[in-house]
Copies of this chain bind each other. A is one copy, B any other.
Amino acid sequence: MTAELERTIEALLFLSAEPVDAAALADATESDLHEVVTAVERLREHYEFERRGLVLRELAGGYVLATHPDAEPAARRLLARPRTPPLTPAQAETLAIVAYLQPVSRPEIARIRGVNAESAAATLLERGLVEEAGRSQFGAILYRTTDLFLRLFGLRSIDELPDSSEFDPSPEIEAELRDRLMRAGEARAGTG
């Protein structure tokens, strides 16, 4: 027998397309916040310990139900399409720049990538992974990531992204690049 609050929350999460936060669940169920948090935790454990087909996840600032990855091959056969098409390298780079520098303008993105970001940015907008966030002081449209981005990348908030310094090029690469720019040429200067 499932406790009343737990089953109501299960129903609410089933109906909601978007993640629902604990406060909204407390309002809807007319319960205290801590009761809600306890019930959510029991629901999460129920799915996990009973090995149900669903999992309860905390994403994009709220709770949301999703299918267990074990069901993915069957889901692919039933729904005949991959849920999220992979990103092209250009889209992934553009998204990376937006995720870490947001809000960031298209010219800034282009400057970092060395190429125009029009088409990648348009696709990311269309897929709902980024959205417009006002204008820069020079009038360029600024971009930021969306809640859908957080959901699809399994993040509770943007703070959960790894620190960007983790992706700094290694000192060897940096030294090599510096070398390429200055010393390699210098050694051969005058021969050109």
Contact B8 A77 (CB under 8 A): no
- Bound together, the chains give a CA A183 to CA B125 distance in angstroms of 47
* Contact stretch, chosen from A12-20, A110-118, A153-161, A162-170: A12-20
Instruction: Name the B residues within 8 Å of A74 (CB-CB).
Output: 8, 11-12, 28-30
A68 at the interface (CB under 8 A from B): yes
Q: Which listed residue, B16, B53, B77, B78, touches A78 by the CB 8 Å rule?
A: B16
Chain A contact residues, majority secondary structure: helix
**Nearest B residue to A68, CB-CB:** B11
Given contacts A10-B53, A11-B53, A51-B1, contact A27 B77 (CB under 8 A): yes
A50 at the interface (CB under 8 A from B): yes
A interface size (C-beta, 8 A): 35
Contact A67 B15 (CB under 8 A): yes
A84 at the interface (CB under 8 A from B): no
A172 at the interface (CB under 8 A from B): no
Instruction: Name the B residues within 8 Å of A54 (CB-CB).
Output: 10-11, 14
Interface residues of A (CB under 8 A from B): 1-2, 4, 6-12, 14-16, 20, 24-25, 27-30, 50-54, 65, 67-68, 70-71, 74-75, 77-79
A-B contact pairs, 20 of them (CB 8 A): A2-B50, A2-B51, A7-B51, A7-B68, A7-B71, A8-B70, A8-B71, A8-B74, A11-B54, A11-B67, A11-B75, A12-B71, A12-B74, A14-B53, A14-B54, A14-B65, A15-B67, A15-B75, A15-B78, A16-B78
